[in-house]
């Protein structure tokens, strides 16, 4: 677990950057809705409601388009690391154990010859 700490930190950082971009898109859309033309000096086209709505949608989509890939990559990286841990645990459980030491020749023969063949 400590072996991949750097990668886990980067997975968390990528996810947080994605969420931050998403929230900034929401905040920018809120600023456009509330402040409108006062937020952008010298832009008389923002006074029309259609332009304000288009800019609001653009801010929302910009936050989603920028933030979503970061969130997805961060969560996939974290999922891959979890899969590695789970597969290592499964591998340890399925690994064949070493056979016990055999001392007598009868024990060796009983491992290789079926019990029916020894009855003759």
Burial 80-113 (b: 16+ CB within 10 A, else e): ebeeeeeeeeeeeeeeeeeeeeeeeeeeeeeeee
How many angstroms separate the first and last alpha carbons of the chain?
A: 57
Query: Does 31 have pLDDT greater than 60?
Result: yes
In contact, 11 and 80? CB cutoff 8 Å: no
From the CA atom positions of the chain, what is the Rg in Å? 32
User: Rounded to whole angstroms, how far apart are CA atoms 18 and 12?
Assistant: 10
The pLDDT tens digits for 63-119 are 999 999 999 999 999 999 999 889 988 888 888 876 666 556 665 555 566 666 555
In contact, 74 and 18? CB cutoff 8 Å: yes
Choose between 105 and 6: higher pLDDT: 6
Query: Does 54 have pLDDT greater than 90?
Result: no
pLDDT at 108: 58
Each domain of the chain, given as residue ranges in start order, spans: 2-118
């Amino acid at each position: 677990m400590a072996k991949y700490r750097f990668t886990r930190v980067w997975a968390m950082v990528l996810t947080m950057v994605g969420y931050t971009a998403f929230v900034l898109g929401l905040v920018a859309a809120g600023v456009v809705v509330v402040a409108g033309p006062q937020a952008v000096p010298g832009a008389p086209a923002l006074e029309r409601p259609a332009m304000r709505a288009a800019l609001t949608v653009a801010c929302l989509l910009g936050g989603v388009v920028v933030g979503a890939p970061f969130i997805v990559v961060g969560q996939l990286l974290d999922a891959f690391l979890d899969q590695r841990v789970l597969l290592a645990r499964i591998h340890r459980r399925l690994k064949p154990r070493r056979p016990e030491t055999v001392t007598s020749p009868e024990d060796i023969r009983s491992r290789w010859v079926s019990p029916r063949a020894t009855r003759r």
